[in-house]
Amino acid sequence: MTTFTDHSELIDALGGAAKVAAAPDVATLPVNVRAWAARNRIPPEYWPGVILLAVEKNLPVTAEWLMQTTPPRRRPAQEAQAA
């Protein structure tokens, strides 16, 4: 069984950016999916399509898992403090 712990690994387990982007219920550009992987954050509006793709591949992905593994967004003030 394929194991993954975050959104970036999930994208890899689903076949990579091109496969995820081409899924009918995701329907976006591969560059967008690569950006999700780089940020380790799949936008919530794409979760239903990602979940359907995961079900097709027998991967245990739920909205709850996606929610629990979504890192918080960094706000501009946080980015300035981190620099």
Measuring CA to CA, how many Å separate 57 from each of 7, 34, 44, 54, 82?
Answer: 16, 20, 20, 5, 38
Handedness of CA 67, 27, 23, 52 (dihedral sign): positive
Per-residue pLDDT tens digits for 31-72: 999 999 999 999 999 999 999 999 999 999 999 999 999 988
Q: Report d(CA 73, CA 62) in Å as an integer.
A: 20
pLDDT band at 7; cut points 50, 70, 90: very high
Regarding predicted confidence, which is higher, 76 or 18?
18
CA dihedral 20, 21, 22, 25 (to 10 degrees): 80
pTM, two decimals, is: 0.83
Name the residue with tokens 């509006």: 45
